[in-house]
């Protein structure tokens, strides 16, 4: 039973039934879980209880239309549009909704006297409500925020009403039929505003929770990756230190026990092995210090004396160069680049060591630099080897990994570390290889700046 019909009857049973219907409407609206469902349910109750000929409910989000629901009481047809404009809505309700959206105030006009000059438009002949009722536009407000407009065409054909009704003068100035319908429409609009605001807050909360969940999962993944990295580093240090340390300890014991009886040539050989193993341990410890500093992040880049750095890298590898009878030719002068000296020395050591391993026999290495003109300086090392395959180059840059406690041999960890160093300092590192023409190891660094400055990089802590 419609509310307006109830008001005409006025019986106690009818009033009680009306009250129950209102409570049911409020409860049903509050039970909806989406804005679209709230719109459909609220509009259905508003049209039913006010005896409206038709109705629309437009929801907005951040000042723009989100969806529009239309209901024709005579046909029972319900249309839901997810739209950002009122272009598909009939002129009169569209104009009245626009006015309410702008003014944020209630508007009531008789459908047959809608003012075209003030932004409205008469309902087209033959459309629902044409000249047969009073159009009501109610803003849906909650905590001062406008979330939509409820539009109703209440049947007032048997009631004499002015063309433009003054809603500010109070319900007592309106015909009873319209006053009762408007009062109930206000209840529906208020409940709709509360429920839609609650849904919006819940959606925002769920979005924040989802973002936080993603952040926590990402942090957990980073933590697991960091833990795995620490395990890999610990295995790497333990594995790679064990061999040279065993050599140093074993050969030292031989020398201490049998020094007087050993020929000079064997003593020199043992001392050479001890020296080589000691250099290997020093290299491992240097790389470990670089890893620690990389993880900590933030170093001061200063102008590099590249000639001195290259000389120190060769000195660190003097025994390896001597054993393979390697020849190294360096540039007569070096452009000034910015970086962190200990790290760049480690990079050159990695490149020279790889050039000795993958170059010709004997290896011949050429080191130089080129000013690129884009704020970067390119440094390179060329060898005379047969060239590296694509798979070998990929393996060189593969990070250290363990499978069942087995260590992947080679220089992979050194190149992975060298690439991290260069990228942390604002450059890039790569290897180019031409079959039969050798390899070119290439890395870039920023050109030197007038003063030193601090640089950090993603992942630094």
Note the pLDDT tens digit of each residue in 271-312.
888 887 887 787 777 777 777 777 776 677 889 999 999 999
Token pair listed for 324: 């393979």
Closest CA to 199 of 24, 22, 61: 61
Give percent of the chain above pLDDT 90: 15
Q: What is residue 120's DSSP assignment?
A: -
Are 19 and 28 spatial neighbours (Cβ–Cβ below 8 Å)? no
HSE-CB of 130 using CA atoms within 13 angstroms: 9
Cβ neighbours for 22, distance < 8 A, ≥ 6 positions apart:
49, 184, 187
Grade residue 176 by pLDDT with cuts at 50, 70 and 90: low
Query: What is the residue-wise DSSP string for 267-307?
Result: HHHHHHHHHHHHHHHHHHHHHHHHHHHHHH--EEEEE--HH
What CATH class does 294-455 carry? alpha beta
Are 351 and 381 spatial neighbours (Cβ–Cβ below 8 Å)? yes
Alpha-carbon distance of 64 to 60, in angstroms, equals 5
Grade residue 175 by pLDDT with cuts at 50, 70 and 90: low
Residue 206's pLDDT is what?
Answer: 87
Q: What proportions of the chain, in percent to the nearest 5, are helix, strand and coil?
A: 50, 20, 25
Are 50 and 1 spatial neighbours (Cβ–Cβ below 8 Å)? no
Q: Which CATH superfamily is domain 3-208 in?
A: GAF domain (3.30.450.40)
Token pair listed for 401: 């990994």
Q: How far is CA 416 from the centre of its chain?
A: 26
Alpha-carbon distance of 160 to 55, in angstroms, equals 22
HSE-CB of 319 using CA atoms within 13 angstroms: 12
Residue 82's pLDDT is what?
Answer: 67
Alpha-carbon distance of 299 to 284, in angstroms, equals 21
Cα–Cα distances in Å, from 307 out to 331, 346, 450?
8, 14, 20
Alpha-carbon distance of 181 to 47, in angstroms, equals 10
Give yes or no for residue 461 having a pLDDT over 60: no
Are 400 and 417 spatial neighbours (Cβ–Cβ below 8 Å)? no
Torsions phi, psi for 178 (to 5 deg): -75, -40
Cβ neighbours for 409, distance < 8 A, ≥ 6 positions apart:
none
Within a 10 A sphere around the Cβ of 446, how many other Cβ atoms?
17
In the chain, where the domains are located: 3-208, 294-455
Cβ neighbours for 171, distance < 8 A, ≥ 6 positions apart:
179, 182, 183
Residue 367's pLDDT is what?
Answer: 96
Alpha-carbon distance of 142 to 100, in angstroms, equals 15
Grade residue 120 by pLDDT with cuts at 50, 70 and 90: very low
Q: Which residue has the higher pLDDT, 415 or 177?
A: 415
Q: Is 340 left (phi over 0), alpha (psi -120 to 50) or beta?
A: beta
User: What pLDDT, in 10s, does the model give residues 315-371?
Assistant: 888 888 988 999 999 999 999 999 988 889 889 988 999 899 888 899 999 999 999
Q: Which residue has the higher pLDDT, 397 or 306?
A: 306
Cα–Cα distances in Å, from 393 out to 347, 400, 438?
16, 14, 13
Are 412 and 398 spatial neighbours (Cβ–Cβ below 8 Å)? yes
Torsions phi, psi for 359 (to 5 deg): -80, -175
User: What pLDDT, in 10s, does the model give residues 184-222?
Assistant: 788 888 888 888 888 878 888 888 999 999 988 888 887
Angle between helices 264-296 and 306-316 (to 10 degrees): 130
Are 373 and 335 spatial neighbours (Cβ–Cβ below 8 Å)? no
* Stretch among 52-61, 177-186, 195-204 having the lowest mean pLDDT: 177-186
Mean pLDDT of the chain: 77
């Amino acid at each position: 039973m419609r509310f307006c019909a109830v008001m005409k009857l006025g019986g106690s049973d009818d009033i009680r039934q009306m009250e129950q219907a209102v409570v049911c409407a409020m409860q049903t609206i509050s039970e909806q879980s989406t804005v679209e469902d709230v719109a459909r349910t609220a509009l259905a109750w508003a049209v039913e209880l006010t005896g409206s000929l038709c109705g629309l409910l437009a929801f907005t989000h951040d000042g723009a239309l989100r969806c529009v629901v239309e209901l024709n009481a005579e046909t029972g047809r319900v249309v839901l549009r997810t739209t950002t404009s009122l272009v598909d809505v009939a002129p009169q309700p569209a104009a009245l909704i626009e006015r309410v959206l702008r003014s944020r105030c209630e508007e009531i006009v008789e459908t047959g006297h809608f003012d075209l000059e003030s932004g409205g438009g008469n309902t087209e002949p033959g459309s629902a409500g044409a000249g047969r009722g009073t159009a009501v536009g109610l803003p849906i407000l909650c905590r001062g925020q406008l979330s939509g407009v409820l539009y109703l065409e209440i049947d007032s054909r048997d009631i004499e009403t002015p063309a433009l009704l003054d809603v500010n003068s109070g319900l007592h100035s309106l015909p009873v039929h319209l006053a009762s319908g408007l009062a109930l429409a206000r209840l529906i609009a208020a409940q709709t505003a509360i429920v839609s605001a609650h849904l919006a807050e819940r959606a925002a909360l769920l979005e924040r929770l989802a973002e936080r969940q993603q952040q926590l999962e990402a942090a957990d993944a980073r933590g697991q990756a960091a833990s795995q990295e620490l395990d890999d580093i610990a295995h790497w240090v333990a594995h790679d230190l064990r061999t040279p340390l065993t050599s140093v300890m074993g050969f030292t014991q031989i020398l201490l026990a049998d020094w007087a009886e050993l020929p000079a040539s064997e003593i020199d050989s043992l001392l050479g092995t001890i020296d080589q193993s000691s250099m290997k341990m020093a290299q491992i410890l240097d790389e470990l210090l670089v890893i620690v500093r990389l993880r900590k992040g933030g170093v001061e880049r200063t102008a590099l004396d590249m000639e001195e750095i290259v000389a120190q890298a060769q000195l660190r590898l003097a025994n390896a160069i001597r054993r393979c009878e390697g020849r190294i030719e360096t540039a007569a002068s070096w452009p000034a680049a910015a970086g962190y000296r200990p790290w760049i020395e480690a990079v050159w050591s990695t490149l020279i060591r790889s050039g000795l391993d993958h170059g010709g026999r004997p290896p011949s290495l050429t080191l130089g630099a080129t000013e690129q003109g884009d704020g970067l300086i390119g440094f390179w090392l060329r060898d005379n080897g047969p060239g590296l395959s694509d798979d070998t180059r990929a393996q060189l840059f593969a990070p250290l990994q363990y499978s069942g406690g087995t260590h992947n041999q080679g220089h992979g960890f050194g190149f992975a570390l060298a690439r991290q160093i260069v990228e942390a300092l604002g450059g890039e590192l790569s290897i180019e290889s031409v079959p039969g023409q050798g390899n070119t190891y290439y890395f870039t660094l920023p050109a030197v700046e007038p003063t030193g400055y601090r640089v950090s990089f993603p992942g630094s802590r």
